[in-house]
């Protein structure tokens, strides 16, 4: 049976890397045709809240508001193992000094924002497109920037100082990696379709990891100014064994992060986390 499935993800080198085999028809999709839609993660979060998308990347924070309609696929997670969103400023700054500061954030439903609220609850959020956050800090529109995506590697080139890596902080707090993003599938697609989608996504990630050079060539189209070595490093940060499957630790990290968010009053209700099982 031929079926068209719309898959949405960020226009980033790591997402492009993991979806390469699907986008370039490198694997058998058993009659399914995948149409790719590329948007920034906060836009995808908002579209998923409206249940517009069949399969999409979302922030783990946003999943808290989607769990009634979407399940987490076991493949495609972006998980930071002692690294993650980074707080940067024009000058060195202590953690205590963050209180009350204007912090440029990439969106209220991003996991970066949730982690920041757990790290420092009292600040003035300045919603800013993720690729303009460095500029906002350099230009003085914000005191501090919360960087996701490639900005985690490039902030030093702008003369900015690292205040805190929230992935490292989370590890020190919990001993777990920080689950930042995942792929979700709408439950109303039905078990058979969901099982196929899950299989295809895992095969796409495995293909990219096994054919790294050609997948990286594809990802370079989305590297936003990174040279190949930095793009390779960035892809390596977020496409790894955790991406093939969350594993027990990754699943526990998702549950704990959302539980902590609820306890802190960032997330309004306890979340029942549902993973698609292969």
pLDDT tens by residue, 2-40 = 799 999 998 888 899 999 999 999 999 999 999 999 998
The percentage of residues in the chain with a pLDDT greater than 70, rounded to a whole number, is 99
Residue 62 is predicted with a pLDDT of: 97
| pLDDT level of residue 130 (50, 70, 90 thresholds) | confident
Domains of the chain from N-terminus onward:
3-79+179-263 (3.40.190.10), 86-174 (3.40.190.10)
Cα distances from 62 to residues 39, 40, 173, in angstroms, run 15, 13, 22
- For residue 35, count CB atoms less than 10 angstroms from its CB and return exposed for 0-12, middle for 13-18, buried for 19 or more: exposed
pLDDT, mean over the chain = 94
Which of 149, 161, 200, 272 is an active site residue?
149
Question: Structure tokens of 127?
Answer: 């919603």
Residue 79 contacts residue 242 (beta carbons within 8 Å):
yes
Residue 223 pLDDT exceeds 80: no
Question: Structure tokens of 57?
Answer: 């990347």
Q: What is the mean pLDDT of residues 191-202?
A: 96
| pLDDT level of residue 151 (50, 70, 90 thresholds) | low
Q: What is the mean pLDDT of residues 36-58?
A: 94
Q: How many CB atoms lie within 10 A of CB 83?
A: 18
- For residue 214, count CB atoms less than 10 angstroms from its CB and return exposed for 0-12, middle for 13-18, buried for 19 or more: middle
Residue 53 pLDDT exceeds 70: yes
> Can 61 be counted among the known catalytic residues?
no
Q: How many CB atoms lie within 10 A of CB 245?
A: 18
| pLDDT level of residue 157 (50, 70, 90 thresholds) | confident
| pLDDT level of residue 238 (50, 70, 90 thresholds) | confident
The answer to pTM > 0.85 is yes
């Amino acid at each position: 049976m031929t079926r068209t499935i719309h898959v949405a993800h960020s226009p980033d080198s790591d997402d492009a890397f993991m979806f390469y085999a699907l986008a370039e028809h490198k694997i058998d999709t058993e009659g399914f045709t995948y149409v790719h839609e590329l948007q920034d993660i906060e836009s995808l979060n908002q579209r998923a809240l409206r249940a517009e998308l069949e399969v999409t990347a979302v922030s783990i924070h946003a999943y808290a508001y989607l769990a009634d309609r979407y399940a987490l696929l076991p493949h495609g997670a972006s998980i930071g193992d002692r690294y993650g969103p980074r707080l940067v400023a024009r000058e060195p700054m202590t953690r205590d000094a963050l209180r009350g500061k204007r912090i440029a954030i990439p969106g209220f439903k991003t996991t970066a924002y949730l982690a920041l609220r757990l790290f420092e609850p009292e600040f003035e959020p300045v919603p800013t497109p993720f690729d303009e956050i460095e500029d906002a800090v350099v230009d003085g529109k914000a005191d501090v920037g919360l960087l996701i995506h490639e900005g985690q590697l490039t902030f030093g080139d702008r003369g900015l100082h690292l205040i805190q890596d929230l992935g490292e902080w989370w590890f020190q707090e919990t001993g777990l990696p920080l689950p930042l993003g995942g792929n979700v599938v709408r439950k109303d697609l039905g078990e058979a379709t969901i099982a196929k989608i899950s299989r295809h996504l895992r095969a796409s990630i495995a293909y990219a990891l096994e054919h790294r050079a050609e997948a990286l060539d594809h990802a370079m189209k989305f590297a936003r100014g990174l040279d190949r070595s930095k793009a390779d490093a960035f892809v390596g940060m977020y496409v790894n064994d955790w991406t093939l499957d969350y594993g027990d630790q990754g699943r526990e990290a998702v549950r704990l992060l959302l539980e902590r968010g609820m306890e802190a009053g960032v997330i309004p209700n306890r979340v029942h986390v549902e993973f698609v099982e292969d």
